[in-house]
Chain A
């Protein structure tokens, strides 16, 4: 079993410590397990979970958008009629629609900014940002 422990240093940074025991690894040779223990700060664990949630949300929304655009191109190529298009949208609305919600907290916004900076070198527009992460555009809030 491989253990990775993270400890906070006096300067506030995370330091990795790896411990590895052969006997433990032999026992679970068929399915090697990597155990990650995080010590020092609970907020680090929370951040990882939160970021994973945001990544998944983004991927799901992009899949939904892709599905909708595929349906729309089918309509433009007249592979399906307008009635079929409408029926498909009304019956399977959840498959195509992206739920928009305002940003819950400042912490979430900071994490989103961190993710966005890693996605592309170019800055995302407000529309692209709201589409990917399902955040209602500030101009639509009105208040």
Chain B
């Protein structure tokens, strides 16, 4: 149940739950390792949570720092999601807060998600750290 916010943190899983206020499909890609895949860019308080972990629990992309445990999640201002299925993800409109609505969906095949732009407070803290050090 850990939520990761750091820059460049990424997750790999079999099924993933997605939540964001803005969802835009980026295109179809043919990756040398993953094959056919669809890319989505989620922005404005985006969150990706692992529902089903990989079996066996090994990184397909051989990334040492990738998050793979069930119920772990990444949160950021913008997240890039890549999934192997050609089927479009069905996004539902749900209430995120009293004022804002969000889009919610699930992937059904292997998914890779990466924080493209972290939350504003994380970025500020990171900048402060680099200035002081």
Contact = CB atoms under 8 A, between A and B. Distances in A.
B67 to A, nearest CB: 14
A93 to B, nearest CB: 7
Nearest to A134: B29
Interface string B2-41: 0000001010000000000000011111111100100001
Interface residues of B, number: 25
A140 B86 contact: no
Contacts of B41: 127
A97 B32 CA distance: 13
A69 B25 contact: yes
Interface string A80-110: 0010011001100100111111100000000
Contact of B86 (A90, A100, A139, A143): A90
A143 B10 CA distance: 15
A93 B62 CA distance: 27
A12 interface: no
A72 interface: yes
Contact of B62 (A68, A90, A97, A143): A143
A51 interface: no
A139 B31 contact: no
Contacts of B30: 97-100
Interface string B91-129: 000000000000000000000101010000000000000
B8 A139 contact: yes
Interface residues of A, number: 28
Given A98-B30, A100-B29, A139-B8, A82 B88 contact: yes
B116 A68 contact: no
A141 B114 CA distance: 13
B69 interface: no
Contacts of A100: 29-32
A125 interface: yes
A57 interface: no
Interface of B: 8, 10, 25-33, 36, 41, 59, 61-63, 80, 82, 86-88, 112, 114, 116
Name the 3 nearest CB pairs between A and B, nearest first.
A142-B61, A142-B63, A97-B28
14 contacts: A64-B27, A64-B28, A65-B26, A69-B25, A85-B88, A86-B86, A86-B87, A98-B29, A98-B30, A100-B32, A101-B32, A131-B27, A139-B10, A142-B63
